[in-house]
Structure 1
Amino acid sequence: MPTRSGNDAAETGRIALDRAETALLEHYTDLVRLAYLTLSPSLSRHRRVLAAHSAVQRAMPGIRPPRRDAHVPGQRRGDRTDRSERDWARAQVLRTALRYDRCPTGWPGVLPPPRALLPALPFVWGLQLFPRSGGADELALAQALSGAPAPARAAFVLCRVDHLSEESTAELLAAAGVEKPAVALRGARQLETSAGALAEALLRSREFDACSVQTRPTDLLRRRRRRLLACTAAGAAAITLATVAVVGPRAVGPSSAPTGSSSRALATGALDPARLVRTPRDEWADTARVDFTAWPARGDRTDDRDLLARALGSWAGPAPGTRTAATSTTPTQPPSSPPQLLYAGDVDDRTVVLFGDGDRIARYTEPSPASSDDVSDQAFVVHASTRDTSGSTPTWDVARTDDADVTTAAAVAVTRGGGKVRYLTAPWIAEAETRDLLRPDTPAKTLPVRPDGVTAPVAGADVKSCASRPVLQLRSSSRIVEKHSFLLTDLGGLSPVHLTHTPLPGGGTPPARQPREATSSTALLAWAHSACALDGLRGAGVRSVNAWDFAQQELPENGGRAVWTCARATTWRGPGSVQVQLRTPGGPPSAPARVVAHQGSTAACGRFGQHVVAAAHWKSGAGHWYTLAAGSRAVTDVTLSGTVKDKHAGRTLAVRAPHDARLRVGARLDNGETLVGLGEQGGTRDD
């Protein structure tokens, strides 16, 4: 009698229906947990719960074609389903969940990715599902997971909950379509370091159990209005059809159906001024979650119902003449539950209203009663980085703020005009100052702040000539963090960007240090050389920028000491870009460092990419050309290939080379792994 090997599923990606069902049902809870933790944190918890169950249920063969190139680890007996069948199920679930991180650029985060979860079963009507909330440890782990790439989250769950070896985990990730399983495993190790010995217990807690959920109704008022809208539309359609039948097609004029904006407004019952969330004034000092949710409602017009109604109405559908903008990848749809009121008041010649809905902040402005002018009858959209809130038109801006903290939720730009910005500071800010990054030796100046938290105007950056780079230097209250000062800079968005610094490795310090606040003399000097590079990040939805001095090098021919810096810009949506900069001796403190390599959408120079190597051309004082290379702390030797080939033990290398030589640089780490250099060196010269 013919028999089938238990490894068939692993080798062909196919599996019998009865065996597939047994594997899915027997391990359903673990598979749903794996999908839930792998799915994008940008989804709401309700959507993640449904998407996780859908990913598992869609794993049955026949629903979508199997991938013949999929390969999962071989058979290991243990329970009713052999290991190959369970690994087959994991690979199918992971492949679906990982598609959320491979959506086309600009794909709305609230919609499932193409060909991923459509049709989406199970389907829930009239209820919101969400796991039960955990404690502070679970919240900290959730925040750490949200900052990790999806493959790293998947690897973390497979290793810590399912107890797979790293080799088996890598094979599963490859079967699910992950291009670089080794990178995902490194990210999983970092997450394990953060979670510690409690990792498995936390991952199995109710915070991450998508099979044990709570329910609550969706917005009842919105559902009622939808029914009314549906009835109205059905009645209008019936009247239209009757008119066509009696009078004829030429008697039918333009459609009188509600426009998209008015339909959205009617369907969003959460946008009711009476239902706005208002946080108690002193809650920020008595909560472990110090972010926008702890902001009280401030301003002298928080009880102006008409103003709040106009502002909320702009979220559902901006009126004609309203200028609208959203930062990169920010969903613009109205919230499903009442948002939080952060501010409503008059600032200069504008009336400003700020809302928060947990993952976003929204700002509405209009001319104040004393300076109202005629409003243009045509709406238009402008880029968020060029927004000017002065003028005679209402404006509407929305930006992502998911997982904001004590620094990234410390200020919001409320008005912008005449080259200056006013900010609304968080209630935990005890002291506000300004300083110029290009003048590190100049003391900070006190920034006046109104009782409602609005600052005096702050000069913007001189983008054309980079002659100045004003930044905010804020200090939080001792009720939050004792003498905690930090820097924020304006890059055109609603929330300013947090600047940090990681200094050169010193004796006795651990290799994996966290970024520090950029307020020390060393940090200010480093940022004086890197400040002008910030202008290239305007409008990119950047959350923070860290300047990491990863190596220093003695230059040939007694040229002095050079410092290598990797500046990483991390966006609110997660991915980031890096620039490698080389600072050579001589020149003023504000002389811009030379950019020698850059790369986008990378984990390099961050928490999950702590190793880097790069190369650059350099000319000595005597006119001789060299190729320099340097690596981070774990580098043991550096290799050059291309026009010039060389290998040198240690973290730095300097070799005579033509000024136009095209080179590739690599390195070996102390754990035996190889490292590819950032960017491709060639034609970059220090004239």
Structure 2
Amino acid sequence: MAYFVLPGTGKRVYRLAVARRIVDASARGARDRSPAGLARRRTRVLRRAMRPSRRLHIGLGPWLRALPTRLPDPALTAALAKLHPHVRVAYVLRHVEGLPRYAVHDQLVELRIRDPWPAIRAADAVRPPAARRAERFEPALLRPVRNRSVLPLVTAAVLTAALVAVLVATERGDPREPELRLVSSDPGGWTGGARTLDAWPARGDLARDRAFTRGAAAAWAAAPAGRRATGTAQLLYAGNVGGTALAVLRQGGRVARYTRGGLDVVDAGQDTSAPIALGGGRYLLAPWDARPETLAGDALAVTDGVTAPARAESGCGRGPLFHVGSRTLGDLGGPRATVLGYHSPAYRPDGKDEPARLGRGGREFWNRLACAPHRPDGPDRPVTEAMAWNFWSGGLPRGGGSADWVCTRLTFADGAGAAAATLLAAKDRATGPCDARRPVSGTWWKAPSGRWYYLAAAGPGLVPHADGVRRSTVRKRLLTATGTRDAPVELTAR
């Protein structure tokens, strides 16, 4: 490894001797036996091989005498000599040592290379001579080299084998101490590839703060069973949000939000674009999202992908928040923002039912609906889209005042869906499941006089029909009936 990283100048025998000398000088005895110790040794070897000192050529005799009889083929060396040192290191790690991209990225960061991804992409684009390949040396062919110290020096081949052991140990993890390795996506990878959560890059002014991000990973790895993460997690954000250092990590559909004061783990689903709630009205946007706007149409400030605080205008704190492109996003109390849609009573299903940017009427309606009990599932289940159809609007009988009946179709992050009806009146109430294309819903309702009635409404073009009630009348698609309170009723629409 050190041989191929060295600048491609001078004779091969001297370069190989210098490489072995670098490896020998990096040995720290028993401290190199742990995976962490071996990883630190690899960093020392690469750092010296990238910028070799001239003093390494002084007193090189013992290492020259210990060279194997068979030297590496010069073809790959000549090709690597033309590369920038950072690209050369990335190539050796990727295509000679066989490390995955995330491991190469982390190693380049350890070598204090500010922007590793361009070097990795350039290394992947290198095409070595087709008939040549790097040769590895058998440990048995390398005699131990001794300098003034009487301690045996570890050979380059042993280091290579040890580095492989480091990778295996990293993949398997230490059973005695749970570990979580952080990876991050190529910052520009989403521009030419699939737009998935895996393509979200790590953003924030602390994304390169190894101590902070490692602390976040350690906290998640040490969380109680059921919330703990092991193996690999993706770093989505690390930065200062509202004066607090915050890290956002992801593993599958789970998201962990870490501050030095604690860790919060939620099931956020795997929607590719839904903004992630960071707290305080701030959201982490997808990297490809258009610049957000306030509900008034003004630009909403964004820093490193995080919006300025945006709060709903409702009394409960839930409801529409901001616009992104043609969508209006809102807070329904879940871990991610939800795309909100609205249909007025004049709406007629025509096969297209995609949410559009909410106007004033739609926003005002959602400010009320978001605070009503309309969820057909648990409140913590992430919702990616909510379409509300105000399928009936009018006056309730017996002086009950004006009311709206709405059927809300929810699309969850896992692709499943559900729809539930809500009666928005003097006292809002959930009225059970509904058909988002042919809505009809009913409930027992107490009039201001204290008498109970069964009310039901249906969508445009439909008439509600109820079995299990006594006298019933239908006027403007609203059914009013008497009967025994809370008696089972079979409701249909015709």
TM-score, with length taken from structure 2:
0.54
Aligned counterparts of 1:467 and 1:358: Cα–Cα separation in 2: 31
Alignment partner, residue 310 of structure 1: 215
Match of 2:328 in 1: 486
Q: Distance in 2 between matches of 1:593 and 1:605?
A: 23
Q: What residue is the counterpart of 1:221 in the other structure? A: 169
Is 2:257 the counterpart of 1:363?
Answer: yes
1:506 positional shift: 3.7
In structure 2, C-alpha distance between the alignment counterparts of 1:563 and 1:625, rounded to whole Å? 19
- Shift in Å, 1:638: 0.8
Q: What are the superposed Cα offsets for residues 477-509 of structure 1, whole Å, 9 maximum, x if unpaired?
A: xxxxxxx23122162x542333333443545x4
Sort the Cα spacing of 1:293 and 1:655 in 2 relative to 1 into closer, same or farther, 3 A.
same
| TM-fit CA distance, 1:565 | 0.6
CA deviation profile, 1:539-589 (whole Å, cap 9, x unmatched): 5233144322233457668999753112355554677776532346xxxxx
Q: Give the AA of the match of 1:655.
A: T
In structure 2, relative to structure 1, the CA distance for the partners of 1:363 and 1:461 (3 Å cut) is: farther
State how far apart, in whole Å, the 2-side matches of 1:663 and 1:456 are.
51
The correspondence for 1:431, drawn from 291, 312, 319, is 291
Aligned match of 2:300: 447
Change (3 A) 1:294 1:488: farther
Residues 400 and 572 of structure 1 are in contact (CA less than 8 Å); yes or no, is this contact kept in structure 2? no
Give the letter aligned to residue 397 of structure 1.
Answer: D
Helix, strand or coil for the counterpart of 1:313? Answer: helix
Q: Deviations over 1:393-417 (max 9, x none)?
A: 2x222333434033x2xx2233x4x
Following the alignment from structure 1 to structure 2, what is the Cα–Cα distance between the partners of residues 497 and 470? 9
1:523 to 362, 382, 391: 362
RMSD of aligned residue pairs (Cα, Å)? 4.1
For the residues of structure 2 that align with 1:569 and 1:593, how far apart are their CA atoms? 23
Evaluate the alpha carbon distance shift between residue 467 and residue 559 of structure 1 in structure 2; reply closer, same or farther with a 3 A threshold: closer
| TM-aligned CA deviation for residue 516 of structure 1 | 1.8
2-structure distance, mates of 1:551, 1:619: 19
The equivalent residue for 1:613 is: 441
Change (3 A) 1:302 1:403: closer
Work out whether 1:540 is the aligned partner of 2:380.
yes
1:293 matched to which residue of 2?
198
Residue of 456, 466, 482 corresponding to 1:657: 482
Contact map agreement 1:518 1:524 (CA 8 A) in 2: no
The question of whether the paired residues in 1 share the 8 Å contact of 2:197 and 2:270 is answered with: no
Structure 2: 5+ residue stretches without partners = 1-166
Say if 2:263 is the partner of 1:396: yes
SS in 1 for 2:214: helix
The reply to whether residue 594 of structure 1 matches residue 458 of structure 2 is no
Counterpart residue number, 2:181: 272
2:42 aligned partner: none
Indicate how the Cα distance of structure 1 residues 655 and 347 shifts in structure 2: closer, same or farther if over 3 A, else same.
Answer: closer
The alignment covers a number of residue pairs equal to: 326
Deviations 1:509-560 (A, max 9, x none): 42x5525246123422421331322698995233144322233457668999
Q: Equivalences for 1:456-475 in 2 at 5 Å?
A: 456-459=308-311, 466=315, 469=318, 471-475=320-324
- Distance, in Å, in 1 between the alignment partners of 2:379 and 2:458 is 31
Q: List per-residue Cα deviations over 1:240-294 (Å, max 9, x = no partner).
A: xxxxxxxxxxxxxxxxxx4xxx2x33xxxxx334xx132333x44444x434233
- 1:496 counterpart = 2:390: no
Percent identity over the alignment is 25
Distance 1:223 1:430 in 2: 38
For 1:519, what is the secondary structure of its paired residue?
coil
Cα pair distance change 1:429/1:572, threshold 3 Å? closer
Partner residue in 2 for 1:332: 227
Q: Are 1:422 and 2:282 counterparts?
A: yes
1:376-387 superposed matches below 5 A = none
Q: Which amino acid aligns with 1:305?
A: R
Q: Secondary structure at the match of 1:309?
A: helix
Q: Provide Cα deviations, 1:165-219, integer angstroms capped at 9, x if missing partner.
A: xxxxxxxxxxxxxxxxxxxxxxxxxxxxxxxxxxxxxxxxxxxxxxxxxxxxxx8
Alpha carbons 1:596, 1:616 under 8 Å: kept? no
CA contact 1:501–1:518 (8 Å) conserved in 2: no
Contact 1:617 1:628 in 2 (8 A): yes
**2:320·2:328 contact (CA, 8 Å) conserved in 1?**
no
- Over 3 Å counting, the alpha-carbon distance change for 1:540 and 1:446 in structure 2 is same
> Which amino acid letter does the alignment assign opposite residue 264 of structure 2?
D
Tell which structure's C-alpha radius of gyration is larger. Answer: 2
Q: Is the 8 A contact 2:439 2:459 kept in 1?
A: yes
Equivalent position of 2:127 in the other structure: none
State the SS of the aligned residue for 1:272.
strand
